[in-house]
Amino acid sequence: MKSIFGITIILIALAFSVSGQSNKSEFIKPISQISLTDKVDDLLFLDKWVGKKKVVGLGEVTHGSKEIFEFKVRLVQYLALKKNAKAIVIEANMADCYDINKFITTGDGNPSELIKNLKIASLNYKELVDLLVLLKDINLTRKATEKIEFWGYDVQAPQSAAKMALTFFEKSGLGLSDSIKIGVNELIKTGKSIFSINPKNVEGYSKSIENFYTTFQANKKILIKNNNEADYLFNERLIYSIKQSFMLFTAKSQMDAFFMRDKLGFDNIKWIVENKKKFPVIYWAHNAHVLKKELFYDNFITTGNCLANAFKSDYLAIGSVFYEGSVKAIKDEKKPKYEAIDLPEAYTTSAETFFSKQKFENFFLNINPATQSDNWKKVLTDSTTIRSIGTAYQPNEPGRNYRKTIFNQQFDLVFFIRKSSTPTENK
């Protein structure tokens, strides 16, 4: 009896041991396919990880990696096909994304030209063109009310918003005072972004836009009658987004303006969500904007932080990292030209180096259950460093291309790509 009892105990212990090992393996999954294919069966493990989240943030560690872009496009495909995603919002101006939305919902337009028209060098890649074609093809299978919509939420390009809203207003047969019209037209002529606006003229432009906004709202009934309520609300928001752009000029420093931009961007995403009521929504941006909480800059409340506060557990933050390879970025900010840059291997103490020692070349990690593993706990719960390259790469500035991270407080999931290469320019 004793020997049988002992054997039973051993078998039970082994069963728990095997079960524990199996559970541990559930938090890491290999990525077998990075580039776009017709199927997403290899990503079905995400069904449980994503669940029924209303907003899914897709982060990128750099704006210049082919593999990061390609895999994010695959994730959009998965979220559209398996989670029935209804909208995607990106780091671009709302007015500039209007024609892109028209393309993916009606097929009208040239996706390559539409990406060029954004005038955002860090998005002018074939991988983004592929994203638009993918969304258009998916929409062909959906009825009108279920089509995915494409939105911009950024506030750094007020000129195109001013042009579109002014055209909408005037085509309804309504007129503006000379002072308003002159001010709005002068703003339109200043270029393509807030960086081309002379700060000395901001007060005058701002006053013209404020008066335009008031006049626009005063003519709400006529504008809706001559068009429709959806178009009225969209153009009203365009004018409001111009007001947001001018708020950036009130920031005390460039860094404060960067922080403010995230809050203003969230306001636009919130408006999109409240007006369209289309879930799930995909939020496509840099890691620094997607993360759920900025832990090392006291004044930085990220867009992801705002989304986490608004949607609670219904917001899912997905980050990305890579170990080695090349990216496309600006090497000299005095001469802002994008070029291919070969990077050194990640810091030996970085999370990427730890990730590179795992048995999978590329993989997805579910962070919270992974923290229960002794092997993973430290790198995911302690402060560590990961690459962080936006539009510029500056190796001569210590720490500029890295950021401190505490994974389990800032992201829910992270995908690791061992080797990055430069994205394909959209010519």
390 touches 120 (CB < 8 A):
no
Q: Which 8-state DSSP code applies to residue 61?
A: S
Confidence of residue 94 (pLDDT cuts 50, 70, 90): very high
**Does the pLDDT value for residue 229 go beyond 80?**
yes
- 121-343-301-59 Cα dihedral, nearest 10 degrees: 70
Q: What is the pLDDT of residue 155?
A: 95
Q: What is the pLDDT of residue 10?
A: 41
pTM > 0.85: yes
Confidence of residue 19 (pLDDT cuts 50, 70, 90): very low
**Does the pLDDT value for residue 351 go beyond 70?**
yes
Q: Is the dihedral of CA 49, 283, 367, 386 positive or negative?
A: positive
Sequence spans of domains, the chain: 54-154+280-420, 158-263
In the three-class reduction of DSSP (H, G, I as helix; E, B as strand; rest coil), residue 331 is classed as: coil
> What average pLDDT score do residues 349-360 get?
95
Give 25's contacts (C-beta < 8 A, 6+ positions apart): none
Q: What is the pLDDT of residue 398?
A: 60
Q: What is the pLDDT of residue 23?
A: 55
**Does the pLDDT value for residue 68 go beyond 90?**
yes
Q: Is the dihedral of CA 131, 136, 140, 141 positive or negative?
A: positive
Task: Convert the pLDDT of each residue in 362-419 to its tens digit.
Answer: 999 999 999 999 999 999 999 999 999 988 997 777 667 899 999 999 999 999 999 9
Confidence of residue 255 (pLDDT cuts 50, 70, 90): confident
**Residue in 69, 147, 71 with CA at minimum distance from that of residue 104:** 147
Give alpha helix (H) positions in 189-228: 202-218, 220-226
**Residue in 256, 311, 272, 289 with CA at minimum distance from that of residue 51:** 311
How far apart are alpha carbons 356 and 350 in whole angstroms?
Answer: 10
Confidence of residue 5 (pLDDT cuts 50, 70, 90): very low
362 touches 35 (CB < 8 A):
no
Percentage above 90 pLDDT, the chain: 83
Q: What is the pLDDT of residue 414?
A: 98
Q: The CATH number of 54-154+280-420 is which of 3.40.50.620, 3.40.1660.10, 3.30.70.270, 3.40.50.1980?
A: 3.40.1660.10
How far apart are alpha carbons 60 and 284 in whole angstroms?
Answer: 8
**Does the pLDDT value for residue 14 go beyond 60?**
no
> What average pLDDT score do residues 184-195 get?
95
Alpha carbon distance, N-terminus to C-terminus of the chain: 79
Average pLDDT over the chain, rounded to an integer? 92
Q: What is the pLDDT of residue 400?
A: 77
**Does the pLDDT value for residue 66 go beyond 50?**
yes
> What average pLDDT score do residues 102-119 get?
96
Specify the range with the lowest mean pLDDT, choosing from 159-163, 205-209, 364-368, 397-401. 397-401
Q: What is the pLDDT of residue 184?
A: 97
**Residue in 77, 88, 40, 61 with CA at minimum distance from that of residue 273:** 88
**Does the pLDDT value for residue 332 go beyond 80?**
no
Please name the residue that has the structure tokens 């390559």.
112
